Amino acid sequence: MADALNAVVTGASSGIGKAIAIAIASVGGSLCLVGRDKQRLESAANSARMTARSAVVFPADLGTDHGIEGLVQYIKHDFNSIDTLVHCAGIHAIGSLENTSVNQLDAMYRTNVRAPYVLTQALLPLLKSRKSQIVFINSSQGLNAQANTAAYAATKHALRAIADSLRQEINAHGTRVLSIYPGRTATPTIEAKYKAEGQLYRPELLLQPEDIAQTVLSTLQLPRTAEVTNVEIRPLIKSY
């Protein structure tokens, strides 16, 4: 059996991040759950603790330097056995390029691009000292941008570039880098998107967070002779 995972999961208070944390917990992993909402983090951690070796929470807004710096110090001093880093935190906004404000673009850049870049950079010495794994939860918009997604898709294309370049830089250290590109998934963010677009929200026709979580867990548990680099996953029944 593979060694238990020691994972930091950002965006773990709900949706895909929470599902990934619970999936890692199910195989006896040790977890640090990161998100902005302490109450929802604690709820997710309580679910994870049913099977995890341990599960702690660290409330932080990764769109701020203070939030990232605090998390890095916590991981280095209190969670220094990290071997898995899952980037799932992100924010989303829809709208045409004409109507999406620069402030919205900047906010998405800070959370969707800058935060995973800075956090990965700060933790690389720890990650490179082990046969570690880094997972970037991207989006189908990171492969093909659609109308009214220019700002958001731009951040996801940038995230893809970070992952692809990083993989070539650190594979020699035995570190694997995975990007996941989910289609629409039944999460609070997507529910809000449907409402904003005036569409009927039918979560049963979408990907489920657990679908993404099981995909991530399966790749994390692969023998070290293999690396999955990119996974595109979409709902079986196209609903939009």
CB atoms within 10 A of CB 180: 24
> Which residue in the list 152, 194, 201, 240 is annotated as catalytic?
152
Nearest to 57 by CA among 74, 80, 81: 74
* pTM flag (> 0.85): yes
The ranges assigned to domains in the chain are 6-231
Q: What is the pLDDT along the chain (240 residues), one digit of tens a residue?
A: 457 899 999 999 999 999 999 999 999 999 999 999 999 999 999 999 999 999 999 999 999 999 999 999 999 999 868 999 999 999 999 899 999 999 999 999 999 999 999 999 999 999 999 889 999 999 999 999 999 999 999 999 999 999 999 999 999 999 999 999 999 999 888 888 888 788 899 999 999 999 999 999 999 999 999 999 999 999 987 644
CA atoms within a 13 Å half-sphere pointing along the CA-CB vector of 163: 29
Q: Which residues contact 144 (CB under 8 A, 6 or more apart)?
A: none
How many helices and strands (H and E) does the chain possess? 8, 7
Look up the CATH architecture of domain 6-231: 3-Layer(aba) Sandwich (3.40)
Burial class for 149, CB neighbours closer than 10 Å (0-12, 13-18, 19+)? buried
Q: Which residue has the tokens 């000292």?
A: 129
Largest CA distance in the chain: 53
Determine whether 109 is an active site residue.
no
